[in-house]
Structure 1
Amino acid sequence: MSIIQILASCKMQSFRTEIENPVVQKDILELEQKIHEFHNGKLDEEKFRSLRLARGVYGQRQQGVQMIRIKLPYGKVTSKQLHRIADVSDEYSTGRLHITTRQDLQIHYVDLNRTPQLWAELEKDNVTLREACGNTVRNVTASETAGIDINEPFDVSPYADTLFKYFLRNPISQEMGRKFKVSFSASDADTGLSYMHDLGFIAKLQDNKRGFKVMLGGGLGSQPRHADVLFEFLPTDKIIPLMDGVVRVFDRYGERKSRAKARMKFLIKDVGLEGFKALLEEEQEAVPYKTYPIDVASYPKVKIVKVEAPKVSIANTKDFETWKSTNIVPQKQKGYVAIGIKVLLGDFYTDKARLLADLVQNYAAGELRLSLRQNILIPFVKKELVPFFYSELAKLGFVEAGYNKALDITACPGTDTCNLGIASSTGIAQELERIIKAEYPHYISNPDVLIKISGCMNACGQHNMANIGFQGMSVRTKDKLVAPALQVLLGGGNTGNGKGRFADKVVKVPSKRGPEALRLILNDYDTNGKELSFADYYQEKGQMYFYDFLKHLTDVDNLTQEDFIDWGNTERYKKEIGIGECAGVVIDLIATLLFESQEKIKNAEEAFGEEKWAASIYYAYSSMVNTAKAMLTAEKTKVNTHHSIIEDFDQIFVQPGRIELENDFKETVLQIKENEPTKKFAKRYLNNAEVFLSKVEKLRKKELVEA
């Protein structure tokens, strides 16, 4: 029985009681409805992809199943929520949970038709899928040590939480040209990696006033870009208005057709930092809040369980001491520490998840933090409980030493499940970890060497900001045979306070030679690195030094049969790349676009009725631009940005007299930048949008008849 049928039946009251938020109910019902429309051929496949991505439903490499991304702001998950996620994973998936490099959780192999019910189950404990994928503001990430960091000027969690809530379902960030990523760093160590985000915030104090250093326009991918400093210090009550304006600029001027050029970093490159600031200034009238004080006092207080330390006996004290030296994180609260759990490749199962949830509920603060390195941090553990936690975690297989150390390799799912994967990232990661354990045990406690792996250029494994990075590729022999390969990158790293280095591409080697490349690099570092950090060692030696001693591994004239089988596989390698869904960029049919415009008008009317003037205005704006886009698409005119759509519609339709408007389209639609979001303006602007859509629909019918 579908959710629509459930709501129409006698069980309707029960469902509504379990999900009290009517906005969430509407979201889930809409997903259910769109799935039916898609199956019945009433909804274009590309448009449906865009809609489901914005609801955390992502197509897998395997046909007929979906990956579900669960959005967990700044990686915080309570014991109760983890139990809920585990139950849902068992019911709808395979029982495996995957931690991402953006502090989300993913479950795989889900039937599309069951996704609305899955979402409804999660929402019972305030867990959302909304905007976990697609061209939206993605999960807001933060230092996993936020709130306990001994060096933090203040806890950034309440600020990250408020920003997440402000932009969730916000009309200004629902259909951008590409995804938008935000991070918060607890201290100048910049463990939130601000320099590689669209917007990055680093906690600062100035004259005892809280604020943030703000970084703008960073990114990874095939063309990594270091973010610019937008503000050295921005008071906390300005961060929401700032991002509101930044998103508006990105939505209007950002590229929409070419996915490769659609991120914020390319807009900054095109207009320059000063040009972007000028565009940002033009949006200030439209931003609904000039200041947005964040109520830190209302943020949930930590509730620590008071319990006596159970007596335990540690069988192997040497292993225990090694584990303590690498996995215990100091905490600013006296008498407490945090415990880091190294999770191989970010994968663990629901049986362990439940036991872990119970452990922190009964003996800590009832919450966990997922980290950017795909690990788990347990905060607020009493120091006297550490032996007990070690004993209990050992039962779960969660006491492997090397948390956030060289042995702790980050890898995306790669060819296991991702459409864009070119070569295995998980398979090579497992082999490299095995080699470090067996041959380089002194690296288990080394916090300096950071190894990251991605299955393709998109850098979900963040390979191009690592000290040692590997990127999945392929190589072709003279006989045109194709084998899996790895691009070796060296010299990247986070240097703190908004600064970092991106790794250089050094050589491309067949995948099966990846371990030998790592051995050569580590052997040389041990011999010649002296007391230098790996990043400084690389800078001292230079790119060509490493190219020279790795070059022999690039030869593809002597490949064996084994070289044509990728890590973790038994069958011969085939380069198979599907349609990437990371951004959900789509080209829509004209009729679909005009139908969307009608829906946006309805959204504007609903928001107006709820006295949400800013939201109503932006829905009306989106309707007008979308309507213009439909007509320009019919003319085979490029519709790369909102800005170009607005100008081209005037040139092609208004100026030649094909459609009569009271004013130029540009003048009409860009009133949004010139007026405060008041009730009076919202009503007038909505009327303009309704009149415009009506005129365009009449023109479209007329031209179709005459065609």
Structure 2
Amino acid sequence: MLSGFTKCPGLFYATPAQDGILSRIRIPGGILNSKQCRAIAEIADLYGGGYVDVTNRANLQIREIHQGINAEVLKRLQKLGLGSNNTAVDQIRNIMTSPTAGIDPQELVDTRPFVQAWDNYIKANSQLSALSAKFSVCFDGGGIVSVSDRVNDIVFAAVLVDGNVYFRLGLSVGAKGKPAKDTGILLPLENCLPVLAALADVYLAHIDASSKHKLRLREVVNSLGCENYLQEVQQRLAFPLSSLGQKEKFVERTATKYHHIGIHPQRQPSLFYLGVVLPLGRIETMQILGLAELAEKYGSGTLRLTPRQNILLTDIPQQWVADVQSKMAALGLDCSVSNINSVLVACSGKRGCAASITDTKGDALALAEYLKNRVSLDSPVNIHFSGCAKSCAQHSKSDITLLGVSVEEENGTVEGYRVYVGVDDNDLQFGREYQFVTVAKLPALIERMLLVYKTQRLNHDETFREFANRYQISQLKQLCDRSHVLNQCQ
């Protein structure tokens, strides 16, 4: 049943990695039921490393597989709704939406039906197997937990115009790694699926479907020009694409309050969701089983994966929130925004990827352990470890980016990280370069940077990125060096 190796893994398209075979399970919209959780945990134990990783598209990855997953097991997963019945389209990227769809108190529209409709369309139309495996679609319902700033080929972002809800259409265009650009087109909700089908059809008309290395949608749009691309889309539709004279732009929301972590009220009265911290997106099978049991006993029997590599436990009655917290703690999990792991991100690193220069996951976990009793954060700071310039784990910019490099020194080659901080809305991939630091000296440097941020920020609402942007790099270094000297004197 396995269809050989491809660059992008799927359930039926396994991919070799440094630590064994990698299998990815698409979870449209990121929603899992407890039966699916138990099946995934069983497979991770029997075939993999006894854990699963939540990805930045709310997929699940099973790693360290050293023998092919039995065909009967794969069929069982299909029956449980894990993995498409049409294996030809299984490699296409997961459909992204807010993890709080349908429960977000401020959302304009519940996007779950749109996710389901597009997933059904993909499975029913085998010609879509010719899409690039990286063809990515996102639905943002306009709520507190936004995903419209995530990097996707196509974005439908809900907006309110004259009391009516529309989707604002965004397309990937221009430079690599940028969020989708607002086209200015407003779509009535019922026109969403036909437009999406037409967008995919125009893409297929301009690529070599037989090629193993397909152009990205961005490349096709850049080649044709956005206006020409949309004209071809219009030719396939029975209704006009219209901007309705509106000029609203997508607003990049950086989720400074991090509502995907912590305890938050749902739109349903007296119900809460708990955003669970997963260190680097990894969860042990024992923890998956424990959360599934909590979901059944106290909630609606479902868990939600987030594109920020965490898990939501939803529909918890207010009177049971404290009990659920206590039982999560017994599993070694918590939902505290102050937990350094809440926004610590790392790619698979050189243990799992040949392109990586450094052991990003190991270094990130060591940093978290070092900081645990040294720095108490009262607002999250997003720290991103990337083993190479591809930035697979996080495409959006972070507060602090650590890019793995090796440097030749007198005593030989030394592994370390180039540190980048701050800055938005520019062409710098990671931000402003701060300095190179060896792996051994990294934890102490990050500690100094975080302590300076806590003591020098204007107020509690100022993010690390805003704080860093107020200074020249030389000034930031002076502040950190001064802090280091004062600590040594105390």
Q: State the TM-score, normalizing by the size of structure 1.
A: 0.58
The amino acid that maps onto 1:49 is: T
- Report how far residue 345 of structure 1 moved: 1.5
Distance 1:388 1:264, change over 3 A: same
2:463 matches 1:533: yes
- Report how far residue 154 of structure 1 moved: 2.0
Q: Which residue of 2 aligns with 1:60?
A: 17
CA contact (8 A) 2:418 2:436 kept: yes
**Larger strand fraction of residues:** 2
Any stretches of 5+ residues in structure 2 without a counterpart?
241-258, 482-490
Q: Which residue of 1 aligns with 2:247?
A: none
- Report how far residue 400 of structure 1 moved: 5.7
The amino acid that maps onto 2:299 is: A
CA contact (8 A) 2:27 2:82 kept: yes
2:71 matches 1:141: no
CA contact (8 A) 1:212 1:235 kept: yes
- Report how far residue 148 of structure 1 moved: 1.1
Distance 1:488 1:325, change over 3 A: closer
The amino acid that maps onto 1:185 is: D
- Report how far residue 157 of structure 1 moved: 1.3
Any stretches of 5+ residues in structure 1 without a counterpart?
1-27, 36-47, 292-323, 552-707
Between the aligned partners of 2:140 and 2:29, the Cα distance in structure 1 is: 10
Q: Which residue of 2 aligns with 1:161?
A: 116
CA contact (8 A) 2:263 2:274 kept: yes
Q: Which residue of 2 aligns with 1:484?
A: 415
CA contact (8 A) 2:54 2:309 kept: yes
User: Among residues 92, 101, 123, which one is paired with 2:56 in the alignment?
Assistant: 101
User: Among residues 267, 273, 279, which one is paired with 1:338 in the alignment?
Assistant: 273
Distance 1:502 1:422, change over 3 A: closer
Query: Equivalent residue of 2:272, what SS?
Result: strand
What's the RMSD between the two structures over aligned residues?
3.6
What is the 5 A alignment of 1:598-609? none
The amino acid that maps onto 2:371 is: I
Between the aligned partners of 1:133 and 1:543, the Cα distance in structure 2 is: 50
Q: Which residue of 1 aligns with 2:158?
A: 203
Distance 1:96 1:88, change over 3 A: same
The share of aligned pairs that are identical, in percent, is: 24
CA shift digits 1:309-354 (9 cap, x unpaired): xxxxxxxxxxxxxxx9972122111111111211112222222222
- Report how far residue 100 of structure 1 moved: 1.2
Query: Equivalent residue of 1:233, what SS?
Result: strand
- Report how far residue 50 of structure 1 moved: 6.3
Q: Which residue of 2 aligns with 1:639?
A: none
Q: Which residue of 2 aligns with 1:246?
A: 199
Distance 1:550 1:133, change over 3 A: farther
User: Among residues 446, 461, 470, which one is paired with 2:379 in the alignment?
Assistant: 446
- Report how far residue 84 of structure 1 moved: 1.6
Between the aligned partners of 1:350 and 1:51, the Cα distance in structure 2 is: 24
- Report how far residue 136 of structure 1 moved: 5.3
Between the aligned partners of 1:219 and 1:100, the Cα distance in structure 2 is: 25
What is the 5 A alignment of 1:110-509? 110-114=65-69, 116-128=71-83, 137-168=92-123, 170-177=125-132, 179-187=134-142, 189=144, 191-194=146-149, 196-217=151-172, 223-253=176-206, 262-281=215-234, 284=236, 327-399=262-334, 401-402=336-337, 407-441=342-376, 443=377, 445-447=378-380, 449-462=381-394, 464-477=396-409, 481-491=412-422, 503-506=430-433, 507-509=435-437
Q: Which residue of 2 aligns with 1:49?
A: 6
Between the aligned partners of 1:518 and 1:337, the Cα distance in structure 2 is: 34
Distance 1:266 1:512, change over 3 A: farther
Q: State the TM-score, normalizing by the size of structure 2.
A: 0.82
Distance 1:472 1:189, change over 3 A: farther
The amino acid that maps onto 2:61 is: Q
Between the aligned partners of 1:91 and 1:140, the Cα distance in structure 2 is: 28
- Report how far residue 424 of structure 1 moved: 1.6
Between the aligned partners of 2:423 and 2:207, the Cα distance in structure 1 is: 28
CA contact (8 A) 2:350 2:359 kept: yes
Between the aligned partners of 1:368 and 1:545, the Cα distance in structure 2 is: 45
Between the aligned partners of 1:454 and 1:253, the Cα distance in structure 2 is: 33
Tell me how many residue pairs correspond in the alignment. Answer: 459
Comparing 362-371 and 454-463, the one that deviates more: 454-463
Between the aligned partners of 2:86 and 2:445, the Cα distance in structure 1 is: 39
Q: Which residue of 1 aligns with 2:244?
A: none
- Report how far residue 505 of structure 1 moved: 4.3
CA contact (8 A) 2:10 2:24 kept: no
Between the aligned partners of 1:489 and 1:145, the Cα distance in structure 2 is: 31
Query: Equivalent residue of 1:204, what SS?
Result: strand
Query: Equivalent residue of 2:420, what SS?
Result: strand
Between the aligned partners of 2:340 and 2:140, the Cα distance in structure 1 is: 19
- Report how far residue 57 of structure 1 moved: 1.3
Distance 1:252 1:326, change over 3 A: closer
Between the aligned partners of 1:436 and 1:132, the Cα distance in structure 2 is: 44
Between the aligned partners of 2:429 and 2:370, the Cα distance in structure 1 is: 25
